[in-house]
Amino acid sequence: MTEQERCENYVELAELWFNSEVLPELIDATKKFGGFHSMHEGYAVLKEEVDELWDDIKSKDRNTRPYMEAVQVAAMAIRFLIDCCTEENMKRAVEVVGEYSSKEKSDEDTV
């Protein structure tokens, strides 16, 4: 399998998971709880979902369903992007990534 084929498979699988599992979870959570009011709230909810996923992964109880927690993590990550990543926040994120990339590049130049 070529790298291109592997990437196409990932895209197809991502679309399948998103449409069948993540989007319905995102819609249900947003209807039930509304949007995040701050990055702190979004982070707290996302962390809670990640912690629940980790608990399911560690569990010896085979009745747990880690994939459902992973779906909730994905849904909350998208909700975070939608609710918390305003244009201003996105500009700052790009600046930070640029600063990090520049620092990384200068570190490579000094090696």
**Mean pLDDT of successive 10-residue segments in the chain (111 residues)?**
86 91 94 92 97 91 84 95 80 65 61 55
Q: Is the dihedral of CA 75, 44, 80, 57 positive or negative?
A: negative
pLDDT at residue 72, rounded to an integer: 96
One-letter identity of residue 79: R
pLDDT at residue 22, rounded to an integer: 95
One-letter identity of residue 27: I
